[in-house]
Homo-oligomer: A and B are copies of this chain.
Amino acid sequence: MEHIGEQTIKFKNPPTILETSSIVGPKEAQGPMAKYFDQCIEDEFWGEKSWEKAESKFVKETVSTLISKSGISATDIEYCFAGDLLNQCISSSFGLRELNIPFFGVFGACSTFVESMCLGSVFVGSGAAKNVLCATSSHFCSAEKQFRFPLELGNQRPPTSQWTVTGSGAAILSASGEGPYITHITPGKIVDMGIKDANNMGAAMAPAALATLVTHFRDTGRKPSYYDAIITGDLGHIGKEILIELAETKGYNIKSNYNDCGVLMFDKETQDTHSGGSGCGCIGTIFSGYFFNQLKSRKMKRILLIATGALMNSTSTQQGESIPGIAHAISIEV
């Protein structure tokens, strides 16, 4: 393992992404990505008494599916890294409390999935573990209730707002395997450009995505064209456009091979999600469903996965604070 440039780690023994799994909710089931997920659940409660319990069930079932798909035993997984958007990350702790694997709670808002893969890959790449599990989730109803307004209010959403994805994505990273490999990680710094509109997360997080993108290219000596796809999650339609423009001002043209999981998740014309999807579950399920599939089938050979997070809560917004953003990147190659 080698620290290169300013903030990138290059693996001498790159961890393999052994397997992934993803389960989503009803709205995601109607979107263009539906066929790539392991399971689509029609009931947002999934038979539970609360949205919070349902979200925990998404985590639990996704991880259970993952372990069974992977062919390895849960006892061969040494550590688990997980987090979510709920206060004190309860979907992860309640969803995984019966898993019986040492647990690291992670919080990076919507960047949590890639943050957990950064941490997990260092554990595997260093020999501290042979297999680790990374998991995350979000749920539209529990997130709206907690961060915004009671759903029963039927509050109108501004055009810049994003739609929290209901779903869970999870991955096993392994010291042995035939790829796709995590070859580099570029963990991000907190970037706060003073945006205060909690209904425009794309704008708040785009500068953090830019910082990590540019640092990754500088640290590795790579250019945007090195990658088959550069993927953020989740800037949405507005944040995506901002990032393309910002990258151009830094001399990087990412127009042709860049997309965002918030843009990919829903149909803009028919699904009424305004600026697109968001939430830890968005990049978590789209990577685990779609991109992992593309890499395994060699349709894509190199992708840069950048997860962005807004490190605020409803109290900080009420107290007039701006929104600190963060973005963590991993380079995945076959």
Give me the interface of A with B, judged by CB distance under 8 Å. Answer: 1-3, 7, 9, 49-50, 52-53, 78-79, 83, 85-90, 93-94, 96-97, 99-109, 115, 118-119, 122-123, 125-130, 146, 187-190, 192, 309, 311-316, 319, 321, 324, 326
Q: Which 10 A-B pairs have the closest CB atoms?
A: A126-B126, A93-B311, A88-B313, A105-B107, A102-B187, A87-B87, A107-B107, A87-B313, A97-B190, A97-B324
Find out whether the CB atom of A316 lies under 8 angstroms from the CB atom of B94.
Answer: yes
Pick from B88, B122, B130, B324: contact of A87, CB below 8 A: B88
Pick from B7, B108, B192, B321: contact of A105, CB below 8 A: B108
Bound Cα distance from A126 to B8, whole angstroms: 14
Beyond A87-B314, A103-B326, list 12 extra A-B contacts (CB 8 Å).
Answer: A1-B128, A3-B129, A3-B130, A52-B319, A94-B316, A94-B321, A96-B190, A97-B192, A97-B324, A102-B188, A122-B122, A122-B126
Bound Cα distance from A197 to B125, whole angstroms: 41
Q: Which B residues touch A52, using CB under 8 A?
A: 315-316, 319
Bound Cα distance from A86 to B88, whole angstroms: 8
What copy number does this chain have within its complex?
Answer: 2
Find out whether the CB atom of A106 lies under 8 angstroms from the CB atom of B105.
Answer: yes
Find out whether the CB atom of B101 lies under 8 angstroms from the CB atom of A88.
Answer: no
Q: Which B residues touch A125, using CB under 8 A?
A: 126, 128
Q: Which B residues touch A315, using CB under 8 A?
A: 52, 86-87, 90, 146
Bound Cα distance from A171 to B82, whole angstroms: 24
Bound Cα distance from A218 to B1, whole angstroms: 30
Q: Which B residues touch A321, using CB under 8 A?
A: 94
Q: A9-B128, A104-B115, A125-B126 are in contact. Are A190 and B316 (CB under 8 A)?
A: no
**Shortest CB distance A209–B (Å):** 14
Find out whether the CB atom of A311 lies under 8 angstroms from the CB atom of B115.
Answer: no
With both beta carbons as reference points, the residue of chain B lying nearest to A75 in the complex is identified as: B6
Find out whether the CB atom of A311 lies under 8 angstroms from the CB atom of B89.
Answer: yes
Bound Cα distance from A294 to B323, whole angstroms: 40
Q: Which B residues touch A187, using CB under 8 A?
A: 79, 102-104
Find out whether the CB atom of A311 lies under 8 angstroms from the CB atom of B105.
Answer: yes
Bound Cα distance from A118 to B127, whole angstroms: 15
Q: Which B residues touch A324, using CB under 8 A?
A: 93-94, 97
